[in-house]
Amino acid sequence: MKTHFLRSPLFYVGGKEKLMPQIACYLPANIKRLIEPFVGGGSVFMNVEAEEYLLNDLNEWIIKIHRMLNSYCGREDEFFEKIFSLISHYCLSFDCNGMSSGLSSGNRSSEEIKNHNSDGYYRMRKDFNDGGMQDTMLLYLLLIYGFNHMTRFNKKGKFNLPVGNLDFNDNAFKALNDYFNQSGRKHPQWNNQDFMTFLNGIDYGKNDLVYLDPPYLITSSEYNKMWNEESERHLIIMLDDLDKRGVRFAVSNVITYCGRRNDIFGEWASQYNIHPINSHYKSYRDNSKKKKQEVLVTNY
């Protein structure tokens, strides 16, 4: 049984790398195609073996970052040369591979990192917003140095996340190298569509697996604000259709959260196999643990 699981270099809010030891126990061993309509940071595809990978997300910026990173598979030295050049250009701190810049290596406080990188970060953000937002590598650095590694845009379409208290470190370096290794070996196909259009456009075959990690209807994450009860009902109709067609699926979701209950999903899930998942995500607002019942629902 696999014991080591890889972390996505997008450090995605709600990413599944910490839950993969539990989720992997319920995934079938023989997967021809892993199909993900909500790929997010990519932790699942990085940690699951299949013959092919069809990956999708509605967030065009996340898919742009994935495609950019994939374009450097086999050219990792070139990627890191460009990354460190940009870090130097904006006078940002880093601490990896025994090298550091901007701040002394070792015990650096998060407040020191934030204060040191503030001016360079906001200059980088302005350059990205004023330059037509075509530089996806700059966007990736904004994700690394921004608050809680998020991607957030205002109503005018401008990246507006404030500076964070982390920098480019050994964790980022390792996650990127792991990503390059996995993507270079797996050759994922990337799509940028809504989940229904994506799933309806697939000609399913034997031993395909659809893994879904949709926005959660009843949690408070920024990512979940785009999801509503209508979206939830469309999701379960789509899942029932997959089941009727003999397509295997596994879907992550939350049934209860801080006294609230998702009756739409909970009642629907009772006809399938419900596997409890022990999760302890922290709120990005207050870092407190939330009482929740997370599950993985499978139809096999």
This prediction has a pTM of 0.91
CA distance 67 to 10: 12
pLDDT at position 162 over 80? yes
| CA dihedral sign, ordered 75, 77, 81, 84 | positive
171-192: per-residue pLDDT in tens? 999 999 999 999 999 999 999 9
Using alpha carbons, list the distances in angstroms from residue 233 to 25, 37, 196, 213, 259. 27, 16, 12, 15, 21
Confidence (pLDDT) at 242? 98
Confidence (pLDDT) at 13? 77
CA distance 232 to 219: 13
8 Å CB contact between 42 and 179:
yes
Confidence (pLDDT) at 104? 65
- Work out the mean pLDDT of the chain and round it to a whole number: 92
Confidence (pLDDT) at 285? 44
Other CB atoms within 10 A of residue 25 CB: 12
> What DSSP string describes 177-202?
HHHHHHHHHH-PEEE-S-HHHHHHT-
Q: Rounded to 5 degrees, what angle do the CA atoms 145, 126, 160 make? A: 60
